[in-house]
């Protein structure tokens, strides 16, 4: 299968601060990919690098096998809906569609009109007068009518109310079936992504913590609870994601391909949210820093 997004040692620095560093991932096509992480983790930076709106400081990135924004052909293959689903407040809905038709060689005018009609948007309405949900649907329509092979969306539902959020995601999922497109979208709320993503990338503190198919991630992560035990006494195949200890008890989240048979542990499944939270767990990051300081 072809890759929709491939990055090798990708990094982006603003002044002294690395917004994204040592990012190496290979995401196969045909997925709805969720990019999750806390605010400021580097999600927008990664998406803008993929869309070609930013140039990498180090490393490389290819999208659908080509360099982002390398030319008109590459631009036509990738749709990008920026944060908060922007639209031109002074332009009407119809003017947005005309603009889309002018700017995009593969523009699907019939589909755009049909979607606008189905959503009940008045063509002569100015975008500035639309509700948040309507504006998001307009931005999605522009992104879809471009007929891209990959649609990138940055926090598309963050500012929407629950109903508009659901309607937006329904439209998006319907479009992935209809047009067989790959989707990469970011959110700092896992609950937005849980139902719709079958591939997940967790980004914390400018680094990719884990990436993979959601089913696979859920099958390989376990929570172990039992009598207190030091991490170096866990089997080699069990990679510790996060650990908490009391005087008597230890709770680990581990990643392992093998089943956990140790009778001392109570093994429980993780929800996707727990899994992401485990990677965001601050103590783990603090440990890493402590380790670095020792090495220095």
**177 makes contact with another protein (CB under 8 A):** yes
Return the residue of 67, 244, 269, 289 that touches another protein, per CB under 8 A: 269
Return the residue of 53, 176, 225, 256 that touches another protein, per CB under 8 A: 176
Site string for another protein, 36-75 (x = CB under 8 A): ----------------------------------------
Return the residue of 47, 87, 197, 241 that touches another protein, per CB under 8 A: 197
Nearer to another protein, 20 or 278 (CB): 278
- Cα 52 to chain centroid distance, Å, stands at 17
Which residues, 6 or more positions from 92, have their beta carbon under 8 angstroms from its beta carbon? 123, 124, 125, 126, 127
**189 makes contact with another protein (CB under 8 A):** no
**244 makes contact with another protein (CB under 8 A):** no
Return the residue of 121, 169, 208, 253 that touches another protein, per CB under 8 A: 169
Question: For residue 127, what are the CA distances in angstroms to 32, 121, 136, 286?
Answer: 28, 10, 10, 46
**114 makes contact with another protein (CB under 8 A):** no
Residue 109 Cβ vs another protein, minimum distance, rounded to whole Å: 22
**161 makes contact with another protein (CB under 8 A):** no
**Nearest CA among 146, 15, 22, 136 for reference residue 87:** 136
Return the residue of 94, 119, 158, 196 that touches another protein, per CB under 8 A: 196
Q: In what order do the strands lie in the sheet with 32-36?
A: 78-81, 150-153, 182-187, 32-36, 199-204, 207-213
Return the residue of 32, 151, 190, 211 that touches another protein, per CB under 8 A: 32
Nearer to another protein, 9 or 174 (CB): 174
Angle at 144 between CA 138 and CA 150, to 5 degrees: 135
Give the DSSP letter of residue 232.
Answer: G
Which residues, 6 or more positions from 155, have their beta carbon under 8 angstroms from its beta carbon? 43, 44, 83, 84, 186, 187, 188
Which residues, 6 or more positions from 278, have their beta carbon under 8 angstroms from its beta carbon? 221, 241, 242, 253, 270
Q: What is the C-alpha to C-alpha distance for residues 20 and 142, in angstroms, rounded to an integer?
A: 29
Nearer to another protein, 5 or 197 (CB): 197
Residues lying near another protein in the complex (CB under 8 A): 31-32, 166, 169-174, 176-178, 191, 194-198, 215, 218, 269, 271
């Amino acid at each position: 299968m072809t890759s929709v997004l491939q990055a090798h040692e990708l990094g982006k620095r603003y002044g002294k601060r690395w917004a994204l560093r040592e990012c190496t991932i290979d995401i196969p096509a045909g997925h709805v990919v969720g990019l999750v992480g806390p605010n400021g983790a580097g999600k927008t930076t990664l998406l803008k690098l993929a869309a070609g709106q930013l140039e990498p400081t180090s490393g490389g990135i290819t999208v659908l096998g080509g360099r982002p924004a390398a030319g008109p052909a590459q631009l036509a293959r990738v749709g990008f809906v920026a944060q908060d689903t922007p639209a031109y407040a002074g332009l009407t809905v119809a003017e947005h569609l005309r603009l889309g038709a002018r700017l995009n060689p593969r523009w699907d005018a019939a589909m755009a009109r049909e979607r606008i009609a189905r959503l009940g948007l008045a063509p002569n309405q100015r975008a500035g007068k639309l509700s948040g949900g309507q504006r998001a649907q307009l931005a999605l329509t522009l992104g879809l009518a471009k007929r891209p092979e990959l649609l990138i969306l940055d926090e598309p539902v963050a500012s929407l109310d629950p109903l508009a959020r659901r309607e937006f995601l329904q439209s998006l999922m319907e479009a992935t079936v209809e047009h067989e497109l790959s989707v990469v979208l970011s959110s700092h709320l896992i609950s937005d992504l849980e139902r719709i993503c079958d591939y997940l990338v967790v980004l914390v503190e400018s680094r990719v913590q884990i990436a993979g198919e959601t089913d696979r991630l859920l099958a390989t992560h376990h929570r172990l609870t039992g009598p207190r035990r030091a991490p170096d006494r866990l089997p080699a195949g069990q990679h510790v994601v996060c650990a908490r200890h009391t005087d008597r008890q230890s709770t680990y989240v581990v990643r392992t391909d093998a089943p956990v048979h140790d009778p001392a542990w109570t093994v429980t499944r993780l929800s996707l949210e727990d899994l992401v939270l485990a990677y965001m767990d601050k103590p783990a990051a603090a440990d890493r820093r402590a380790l670095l300081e020792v090495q220095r």
